[in-house]
Amino acid sequence: MPKFLEDKLRSEYGDNPHAIYGTMNKIGAMHGNKETEKGREMEAKHAAHSHRSVYVGRYKEKHGHGS
């Protein structure tokens, strides 16, 4: 399951598993208790974006770009 999405929903809904997993089922990230292809793609995109953000931030700090 998309862990980043579960964490985000948990912070929004608290410890209400029906709201968390119901939302993931509704948007298509899960089907029942199984992760869907869409959920795996969301996780991969999130990981790639997170890694890129850290790299770009470090590059800007090292080379004096940015604010």
- Average pLDDT along the chain, 67 residues, taken 10 residues at a time: 88 94 94 92 85 61 62
pLDDT at 30: 93
pLDDT at 49: 78
The model carries a pTM of 0.67
Give the pair of three-digit tokens for residue 10: 């948990």
Give the pair of three-digit tokens for residue 42: 């969301």
Beta bridge partners of 34: 31
CA separation for the pair 4, 43 (Å, rounded): 7
Q: Which of 18, 31, 17, 23 is nearest to 5 (CA)?
A: 23
Beta bridge partners of 30: 35
Strands 34-35 and 30-31: antiparallel
Q: What is the DSSP-derived secondary structure letter of residue 31? A: E
pLDDT at 14: 94
pLDDT at 13: 94
Domain ranges of the chain: 3-63
